Amino acid sequence: MKSVVRTLRTARAAFFGTLATIPRGRLVAVLCAIVILVAVALLVPIPSAVQLRDWATSVGAWFPLAFFAAHVAVTVFPFPRTAFTLAAGLLFGPVLGIPIAVAASTLSALIALFVVRSAGWQVSSLVRHPRIDAVDARLRERGWPVVLATRLIPAVPFSVLNYAAGASSVRVLPYTLATLFGVLPGTAAVVILGDALTGRVSPLLLAVSLCTAGVGVAGLAYEIRRHRRAEDAVSVP
């Protein structure tokens, strides 16, 4: 646990230390983009489950495809993914709802990664710091366990992780597979156990969330220890 805390403190110090190296104009542009995304997420209303059900009636047989496309397009931005996951269970049931929600989430995460990288917002091109470079190189070599573990933690916002992965050098295929398997347990639990109409939280759903979060935290702690051991091995003459 001490090694995890020490690593987090080092990363925090490196982060704030490198902010001073970023050109002020670029930093302002990035901050403005973040503010705009957050404002859009807060101001644009998310359709309720009843509204989505009415939409399904109006669209007809094409609704599963329309729902999939809307899920992908909306969750590229920092909108709550849980609303669509609950609606998938309500509208399609677990047999169809789980594949739709998992596939849409994975595709949305992949698009968000490409958007960040196409905008040139990768850490490697924005800042230069030995600690940051070491972490970025580690993510390029072995980024999938970090992505997988973080996806298992419900408290980590879906879009934030997408943007962070896009800013890193994590490889696309491992990121995609880690996202697919990382969102699967939580998505399946929400589709099967979630109550989209009453909004009540099932005790079993809470238990599943706590279990996946525990696995995710343990995975992150393990990867941090591996990274520190690799650094120590390199530093030893």
What are the residue boundaries of the structural domains of the chain, listed by start? 2-235
Q: How far apart are CA 198 and CA 226, in angstroms?
A: 44
At a CB cut-off of 8 Å and minimum separation 6, what does 193 contact? 202, 204, 205, 208
List the single range of 15-24, 146-155, 199-208 with lowest mean pLDDT: 15-24
For 69-117, how does the pLDDT look when each residue is reduced to its tens digit (9 = 90+)?
A: 989 998 998 888 888 888 888 888 888 899 999 999 999 999 999 998 8
For residue 185, report the phi and psi dihedrals to the nearest 5 degrees: -60, -50
Q: Which amino acid is at 137?
A: A
**How far is C-alpha 121 from the geometric centre of its chain's CA atoms?**
17
Average pLDDT over residues 220-236: 71
Contact 41, 33 (CB under 8 A): no
Q: What is the reported pLDDT for 52?
A: 64
Whether the pLDDT of residue 14 is over 50: the answer is: no
Whether the pLDDT of residue 151 is over 60: the answer is: yes
For 41-66, how does the pLDDT look when each residue is reduced to its tens digit (9 = 90+)?
A: 555 565 666 666 666 667 677 888 88
Q: How far apart are CA 18 and CA 112, in angstroms?
A: 24
Q: How far apart are CA 20 and CA 24, in angstroms?
A: 8
At a CB cut-off of 8 Å and minimum separation 6, what does 201 contact? 195
CA-atom Rg of the chain in angstroms = 19
Contact 197, 49 (CB under 8 A): yes
Contact 223, 142 (CB under 8 A): yes
For 184-195, how does the pLDDT look when each residue is reduced to its tens digit (9 = 90+)?
A: 999 998 888 765
Q: How far apart are CA 98 and CA 236, in angstroms?
A: 49
Contact 135, 15 (CB under 8 A): no
For residue 46, give Cα distances in angstroms to 82, 128, 159.
11, 39, 16
